[in-house]
Amino acid sequence: STSCLVGGGGGVADHSLYSLTDSSDCSPEDEEASPEPPLTPLQKLTADMCKDEKTIKELIIGRRVGFYKVRGEIGYGTFSRVKLAFHALTRDKVALKILDRMRLDAQAQRLLSREINSMEALQHPNIIRLYEVVETPSRLYLVLEYAGGGDLHNRICSEGKLCDNTSKVTFAQVLSAIKYMVGYYIIHRDLKAENVLFTTTGAVKVADFGFSTRVSNRNLLFRDESYLGPPVDVWAMGVLLFFMVTGTMPFRAETMGKLRRCIIEGNYTLPPWVPGPCQRLIRGILKPAPAERYAIDQMLGCDWLLPVEFPWSLVPPEPTNALQRLLDSERSSSVEAELHEEVRSSLQELGFTSEHLQNNQLTDSRSPVTGVYRILLHRSQKRRGCDCPPVVRGMVRDPKREGLRAYRGLRHTSKFCVLS
């Protein structure tokens, strides 16, 4: 069968990379054959990628990469740049992270491999998703979820510090992502305002896993001065929270030496107008000694975050008995089956056959079938509210102002004090 152009920016790959085009897609029609049924969207696209001059030119110059139409640049990094793109079949927007393979030394290649492995393992409402990886001889493309609402750093720099409720909702979502990552023994190691993105609906997405790494289960159990696990991300969240509620960084100095001393000594000043519960959370996080810092669950259960209510459970409730466990299992299986059937139906409408799905197990990120599947799956999950941001239902009184006894009574009778 005829080879097809599927790359971008100077890359040509044989059609086995996509395994989607049969010999009839790229060969002349048999004049004596009976009338063929209308082409499916997939058949039309693969035929264009083989025969249409405009499509082939776009593939050669990088205006198309695989099944994605590339548009303008939306960001850049040391080894990469990020462009907006559209999937030619689903029409969904994606972010295309482009890396020049010639510029990647051994260290950069190791980091890239970790980034892909980390993102493959993580599927959470507050973590940017990896849909697909497209390779050409000169470039490598990570097809990522497109957030579309800018990043936390630019928002604060242009609009100033966040109000208390917005800080709660934003921080709680970052914390939710970090808790999930710890469950997979993954540490982000580059958590900062530039890597906290917003969707157009206000949900928060932790992005850029280029410095992420996995730690062993054993390392997660030890808390000492040489510990390089979750306390690294915990510390970063303390800096992030300080930046959210004040609009400034906690540690500032004229020289790098003085800045280092400020950080080591934990020398910073909280403005008095920061709410008491938030001040206590920041002080609990920004402890110089890693072993003394708040753990993730301590942060989740702090007074300041009590009014935040997620549209999903952070921790599945423990089933009370075998019957409850069975019912929960059946309910979960039912939802998953419904999602799977919805996505399968969408794939069939686009022209993907049972053979396509059998040949692609939907786990290989370097398969375009996986890319389409993950985009459609995420779309279905979003329709069911999986990307909805949490809300603040009320407020919790500060025990230093109201009295510890009254506060404990409030906590005992109700989780939230709902405002009328």
Question: Within the chain, which residue ranges are assigned CATH 1.10.510.10?
Answer: 149-309
Assess contact for 375 and 92: CB atoms under 8 A. yes
Residue range 149-309 in CATH 1.10.510.10:
yes
Catalytic residue among 52, 92, 164, 190: 190
Assess contact for 387 and 127: CB atoms under 8 A. no
Per-residue tokens: 344: 């399968």
- Residue 373 CA, chain-centre distance (Å), reads 17
State whether residue 278 is helix, strand or coil: helix
Tokens 């809300």 belong to which residue? 391
Active site annotation includes 164: no
Cite the annotated binding site by residue number.
97
Cite the annotated binding site for ATP by residue number.
97
Looking at the domain that runs over 1-146+344-389, which CATH code has it been given? 3.30.200.20
* pLDDT by 10s per residue, the chain, length 420: 334 444 555 444 443 344 565 544 555 555 565 677 889 999 999 999 999 999 999 999 889 999 999 999 988 877 789 999 999 999 999 999 999 988 888 888 888 999 999 999 898 999 999 999 999 888 999 999 999 999 999 999 999 999 999 999 999 999 999 999 998 999 998 999 999 999 998 899 999 998 898 887 655 544 443 445 678 899 999 999 999 999 999 888 778 888 888 888 888 889 999 999 999 999 999 998 888 889 998 998 899 999 988 776 655 445 455 555 555 555 567 777 888 889 989 999 999 988 888 888 778 889 999 999 999 999 999 988 888 888 888 654 544 444 443 333 334 333 333 232
pTM of structure: 0.81
Query: Any idea of the CA torsion for 335, 337, 340, 345, to the nearest 10 degrees?
Result: -110
Residue 169 φ then ψ, to 5°: -65, -40
Q: Are strands 308-309 and 80-87 parallel, antiparallel or unpaired?
A: unpaired
- Residue 171 CA, chain-centre distance (Å), reads 15
Question: Within the chain, which residue ranges are assigned CATH 3.30.200.20?
Answer: 1-146+344-389
